[in-house]
Structure formats: C-alpha cells, structure tokens
C-alpha cells in the first residue's frame, strides 16, 4: 500500500464540489486515511509550494491557494501516487482525459480543482506538512 497527498483547491471548495470529488476518490478504490478543511495563510502556501519559488507563477499560485478554504487529504491504495495523478487528469483541464476530475470540474490551468503529489519524494514532504502521524488512520 502506498500513500499520497491531495488537495481540493479553493476553486472547487468555493463551487461546493468537495462531495463530488470525495465520491470519485472513494469510488475509485482509494481509502481516505486523513482529511481536513483549512484555510492556508499566504506564508503556509509559500512554504508548501517552495519548490516553485523561482517560477513566474509562484506569487499568483500562493495568493490563489490562500484566498479561501481547501480540503487536504491523505489517500491510500496500491500505486496511490500514479493512480491519483491518473484520476486528477492533466494540469490543463482542456487537455485532461474524459472522466478525470480536472476534465469534469476544472476551470482553467490555474484553477484546476485538485493537487496531488507527483512522486514518493514529494508525498513524503507534503503529507507531514499537513498531517501528524496521529491524524492518519
């Protein structure tokens, strides 16, 4: 079993899509081993996305991620990282495969509904950024 990290981003929470996304996650066979709703400060968003700090979109991304609440999740299943990335779809919703979360619910490349760890290394940073071991079931 593998664990990965996911965020339901502000655009999706604002549009009240959390339930639909959780239903898709569980319907695909993931176990949700941690979940909470919170509002990131801009500083927390900057710390989380630090790997992108030199990119031109960094400030806009951090402003977006701190504009309203998000839902963070710890997901578990075999090959969780790859399977979650498949379920999310391409970063640009217009290029995401039919049936993926971003294809069905994403607004734009900037407001693309969900985030997911892209490797075991990023999952090992992202999961403890939001969850203590005591919070994971």
Residue 11 lies in a domain: yes
CA-to-CA dists, residue 111 to 15, 29, 34, 38, 63, angstroms: 11, 25, 24, 18, 12
**pTM assigned to the model:** 0.95
Residue 112 burial class via C-beta count within 10 angstroms: exposed 0-12, middle 13-18, buried 19 and up = buried
Q: What is the pLDDT of residue 104?
A: 97
Q: What is the pLDDT of residue 124?
A: 97
Residue 135 lies in a domain: no
Residue 116 lies in a domain: yes
Q: Is 52 a catalytic residue?
A: no
The stretches in the chain having pLDDT less than 50 are none
Pairwise CA distance, residues 34 & 62, whole Å? 23
Residue 123 lies in a domain: yes
> Catalytic pick from 72, 93, 115, 117?
115
Taking alpha carbons only, the member of 98, 18, 30, 16 closest to residue 7 is: 18
Q: What is the pLDDT of residue 46?
A: 97
Q: What is the pLDDT of residue 96?
A: 97
Query: Taking a C-beta distance cutoff of 8 angstroms, is the pair 100, 36 a contact?
Result: no
Residue 40 lies in a domain: yes
Residue 87 lies in a domain: yes
The CATH number of the domain where 63 resides is what? 3.30.70.141
Kind of pairing, strands 2-8 and 31-38?
unpaired
Pairwise CA distance, residues 14 & 37, whole Å? 12
Neighbours of 10 (CB within 10 A): 20
Residue 136 lies in a domain: no
Pairwise CA distance, residues 50 & 13, whole Å? 23
The residue segments making up the domain with residue 25 are: 2-130
Tell me how many domains the chain contains. Answer: 1
Q: What is the pLDDT of residue 45?
A: 98
């Amino acid at each position: 079993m593998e664990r990965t990290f996911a965020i339901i981003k502000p655009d999706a929470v604002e549009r009240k899509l959390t339930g639909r996304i959780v239903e898709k996650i569980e319907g695909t066979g993931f176990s949700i081993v941690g979940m909470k709703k919170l509002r990131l400060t801009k500083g927390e968003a900057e710390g989380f996305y630090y790997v992108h700090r030199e990119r031109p979109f960094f400030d806009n991304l951090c402003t977006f991620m701190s504009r309203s609440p998000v839902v963070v999740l710890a997901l578990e299943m075999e090959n969780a990282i790859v399977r979650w990335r498949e379920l999310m779809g391409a970063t640009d919703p217009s290029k995401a495969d039919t049936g993926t979360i971003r294809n069905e619910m994403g607004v734009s490349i900037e407001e693309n509904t969900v985030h997911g760890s892209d490797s075991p290394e990023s999952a090992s940073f992202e999961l403890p950024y939001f969850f203590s071991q005591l919070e994971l079931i």
